[in-house]
Chain A
Amino acid sequence: MTMVVAWFILGFAASLSASGQQMAEGGTAAGIRALEQAWTVGQSRHDSHALNLIFDNALVYVEYGKLVTKGEYLSRIKHESSQLDQIVMGPMTVRTFGSTAIVVGTYSEKRGRDKGLELKRWRFIDTWVYKKGGWVLVAASAVPVSK
C-alpha cells in the first residue's frame, strides 16, 4: 500500500508539473485538494515514505501547540500505535497566489477509548509552495474548534 500511495503522489505531482504554472487556478486548487487527501491517506496508513514526498524539508508543523520538524512528524507517523481510528476531512477552501496556495478547512478525529469514542474537530491552515516542478507542504497548523 505504501507503494500505491507513493505512486499516487508521484503521478499526481508529475501531472501538476506537466502543466506547471499555466494550469488554471481551478485545476491547481483541485490538485492541492488531492494532495491534502493523499496526506490524510498516508497518515492513516502510517506511510511516512509517501508523506516524505509531499512535505518540504523545512516544513513548519504545529500540532497541539507544539512545533515539530518534518523528521519528528514522520517518525511519529511511522511508529505510532495510535488509537486514532479515523480522520474525516470537512470542507476546505483553497486560495492560490501564484506559486503559493493556502488551504483552510476542518477535519474531525475519531479516537477509540476504553470508555467510549472521542470526537474532536479541528480547523487548519496549510501552506503549499510550488517548488522544483511540484507542490510541497511548507507549513501546517491546526487548532481545536471550541464547542
Chain B
Amino acid sequence: MRALTWIVVLTCFGSAAGSAQAAYDSDIASKLIALERVGKMQAWQNKDMKTLDTMFDDAFVYVDSQGRELSKSELIAYIQSFDSLQFIAEAMTVQLHGDTAIVTGLYRMKGTERKKAFARRGRFVDTWLYKNGQWVAIASLLTPDGN
C-alpha cells in the first residue's frame, strides 16, 4: 500500500513538473514571437535603431534572401537605407533547446529602396540566445519562398 502511495505521489509530481515545464516553454515561445513582431514588424519599419541594437547580439549574423552576409552594423545600416519598409512575419513556430531557441516562419517584405519598389516573400529562420537575462538574436536567414 505504501509503495502504491509513493507511485501515485511520484506520478502526480512528475505530471505537475511536466505541466510546469510545458507552461514555462509556452511562455518563452510567446515572448519570442512577441520579440519577432516587435523586432521585425515595428523596429524595422520604424527604423528603431535602439531596439534593434538591444535585440541583436554584437556577434549577430544575417543572411538575406539574395545570399548576402551582413554583420549587425551592416544590417542596421541596410535597414536605414530603405525609403520605406513593411515587414510581416506569420505562421511562426518556436523550438526551444535550453537557452537557445529557433524561430521559423513566413515573411512578406515590401517597400522602396533608392526610390525603387520591391516585394519579397519567403521563410526565415532565426536563432535566439538567452544571454545576461534577456533573449538576443544571434543569427537570421531569409530564403525565398519554395512553395
Contact = CB atoms under 8 A, between A and B. Distances in A.
Interface of A: 56, 58, 60, 62-67, 95, 97-100, 102, 104, 121-125, 127, 129, 131, 138-139, 141-146
17 contacts: A56-B97, A60-B104, A60-B125, A62-B143, A63-B146, A64-B143, A65-B122, A65-B123, A65-B147, A95-B138, A97-B131, A99-B100, A102-B138, A125-B61, A129-B100, A131-B98, A145-B66
A123 B146 contact: no
Contacts of B125: 60, 62, 125, 139, 141
A123, A124, A144, A146: residue with the most chain B Cβ atoms closer than 10 Å: A123
A84 to B, nearest CB: 17
Nearest to B103: A60
Contacts of B145: 65
A141 B147 CA distance: 15
Contacts of A97: 57, 59, 129, 131, 138
A54 to B, nearest CB: 14
Q: Which 5 residue pairs are nearest across A and B when measured between Cβ atoms? A: A65-B146, A145-B67, A64-B146, A146-B66, A141-B125
Given A65-B147, A125-B61, A127-B127, A141 B141 contact: yes
Given A131-B97, A143-B141, A62 B104 contact: yes
Contacts of A104: 61, 63, 69, 139
B91 to A, nearest CB: 10
B97 A129 contact: yes
Contact of B98 (A65, A67, A99): A99
Nearest to B145: A65
Interface of B: 57, 59, 61, 63-69, 95, 97-100, 102, 104, 122-123, 125, 127, 129, 131, 138-147
Contacts of A56: 97
Contact of B144 (A99, A102, A122, A143): A143
Nearest to B127: A127
Given A67-B104, A97-B131, A122-B67, A141 B99 contact: no
A139 B97 CA distance: 11
Contacts of B104: 60, 62, 67, 139
